[in-house]
Chain A
Amino acid sequence: MACINPDGTLSVVAHRVLSALTRPLAPEALAQEAGVPLYRVRGTLRETGAAGLIEQVEGGYLLTDKGREVLELAEVEA
């Protein structure tokens, strides 16, 4: 998976997209918030969804507990 490195850390763009998910956002709004093209947001949501890091909720997508853990880990290591 290009969004998630073999060691479980997030790619640069995946980190940017997931960091923007502080509230439920639809892909179009997430693209604006994260400053990432919509096509890339869609690809990232697909891969991180398959990895259990995000879930679809009313109004868009949100981080799962696992997603929050991975994001916090990335911030600690930065």
Chain B
Amino acid sequence: MTDPSTAAPAAPRLGAPAPDFEAETTHGRLRLSDFLGSYVILFSHPADFTPVCTTEFLAFAEIAPQLKQRGVELIGLSIDSVYAHIAWVKNIKEKFGVDIPFPVIADLNKEVATRYGMMMPGESKTETSRCVFIIDDKGMLRAMIYYPLTTGRNMLEILRVIDALKTTDQHGVGTPANWQPGDPVIMPAPRTVEDADARKGQKLDYVDWYFAKKKL
């Protein structure tokens, strides 16, 4: 039986407040709550000075201006020291000519990694896997993406999820599979018999009472 005092904390849950933390970063000591008012993408990578992680940092830096336009800040994390982080971002600038504009958490005691369920012992006991947590401007956890050590993440999908969540925030709609900005959105299904009956007469792209789309 697992000893509760040594059991890992429960993983964060979608639709709940993202666990706050205070951590040393390449931009000084920061708390998650310092970012309230902006969306945040908190993402972990296994280790500094490794090749797949470097491609991801280059890719995140490339989309950082587009994220800023959308009111989204980035925070990186790995179980490396702040000195390793500083050396690595300077190396990225030297070798690739790219500035890394976002803070990177030096989570040497694994406190944030543990609280967020970033460790996958089946992959590594000392490195975080490639996790992405999308946190909204009120501090609520809205989406999570988990990738293995071997596989770099897709920035277009991360941008797409941000756009989908903000569309939902603004219009109270859902977004269908493979949705791209400008595509029709999903109307939430009616929750009463009368509203289900009324659905057909509304100006929607109607298939059935539970399945209707519209163009925004």
Q: Which of B24, B27, B28, B30 has the most CB of A within 10 A?
A: B28
Check A13–B28 contact: CB distance below 8 A. yes
Q: Which of A3, A13, A37, A46 contacts B73 (CB 8 A)?
A: A37
Given contacts A37-B73, A39-B73, contact A2 B37 (CB under 8 A): no
Q: Give A11 to B38 CA distance when docked, in angstroms.
A: 25
Contact of B179 with A by CB under 8 A = no
A-B contact number at CB 8 A: 36
* A contacts with B, residue count (CB < 8 A): 14
The binding surface of chain A is classed by DSSP as: helix
Interface contact A47-B28, CB-CB below 8 Å? yes
Q: In the bound complex, do residue A2 and residue B29 qualify as a contact, i.e. CB atoms below 8 Å apart? A: yes
Q: A34 to B28: give the CA distance in the assembly, Å.
A: 16
Question: Given A37-B73, A39-B73, does the pair A2, B34 have CB atoms closer than 8 Å?
Answer: no
Cβ–Cβ < 8 Å partners of A2 in chain B: 24, 28-29
Closest chain B CB from A74 CB (angstroms)? 17
Check A38 for interface membership: any CB of B closer than 8 A.
yes
> Are B28 and A38 touching (Cβ within 8 A)?
no
- Size range of the chain B interface in the assembly: 10 to 19
Which of B29, B34, B73 has the most CB atoms of chain A within a 10 A radius of its CB? B34
Query: A2-B24, A37-B73 are known contacts. Are A43 and B37 too (CB-CB below 8 A)?
Result: no
A43 pairs with B73, CB closer than 8 A: no
How far is it, in angstroms, between the C-alpha of A44 and the C-alpha of B103 when the chains are bound?
14
Task: Pick from A2, A39, A43 the residue with the most CB of B within 10 Å.
Answer: A39
A23 within 8 A of B: no
A40 sits at the interface (CB 8 A): yes
Residues of B whose CB lies within 8 Å of any CB of A are 24, 27-31, 34-35, 37-38, 73, 103
In the A-B complex, the 9 residue pairs with the smallest Cβ-Cβ separation, listed nearest first, are: A2-B28, A42-B34, A39-B34, A43-B30, A39-B35, A43-B28, A43-B34, A40-B27, A2-B29
- A39-B38, A43-B30, A47-B28 known; 5 new pairs, CB 8 Å cut-off, are A1-B29, A2-B24, A39-B27, A40-B27, A40-B34
13 A-B pairs, CB-CB below 8 angstroms? A1-B29, A13-B28, A37-B73, A38-B37, A39-B30, A39-B38, A40-B30, A42-B34, A43-B27, A43-B28, A43-B29, A43-B34, A47-B29
